[in-house]
């Protein structure tokens, strides 16, 4: 009988091998998952492509900038 091959990937944060059945898949641990989440939240990762629609580009240029509370800058 042929054996089924376990599907695995590398953790995006630390590059450790992670089995598909792992609790935090595709991460090796909760720590690596939170590190990755922090990179997204802080702008370390971005999904970007050029805006090809001239109307959308004009709307974005004319939109007011979002304001942040001063309290938000002091929270960790």
Stretch 54-76: mean pLDDT: 69
Q: Name the pTM for this structure.
A: 0.54
The C-alpha angle 22, 23, 27, rounded to 5 degrees, equals: 70
pLDDT at site 3? 65
Domain ranges of the chain: 7-45
Task: Work out the widest C-alpha separation in the chain, in whole angstroms.
Answer: 65
Q: What is the CATH number of domain 7-45?
A: 3.30.50.10
Assess whether pLDDT exceeds 90 at residue 42: yes
Q: How far is CA 26 from the centre of its chain?
A: 12
Asked if 36 and 12 count as a contact pair (C-beta separation under 8 A), the reply is yes
Structure tokens at 65: 């900038």
Assess whether pLDDT exceeds 60 at residue 16: yes
Structure tokens at 26: 């595709």
% residues pLDDT > 90 (the chain): 45
């Amino acid at each position: 009988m042929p054996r089924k091959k376990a599907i695995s990937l590398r953790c995006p944060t630390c590059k450790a091998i992670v089995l598909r059945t792992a609790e935090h898949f595709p991460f090796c641990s909760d720590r690596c998952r939170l590190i990755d989440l922090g990179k997204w939240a802080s702008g370390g990762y971005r999904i970007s492509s050029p805006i090809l629609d001239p109307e959308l580009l004009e709307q974005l240029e004319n939109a007011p900038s979002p304001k942040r509370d001063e309290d938000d800058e002091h929270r960790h």
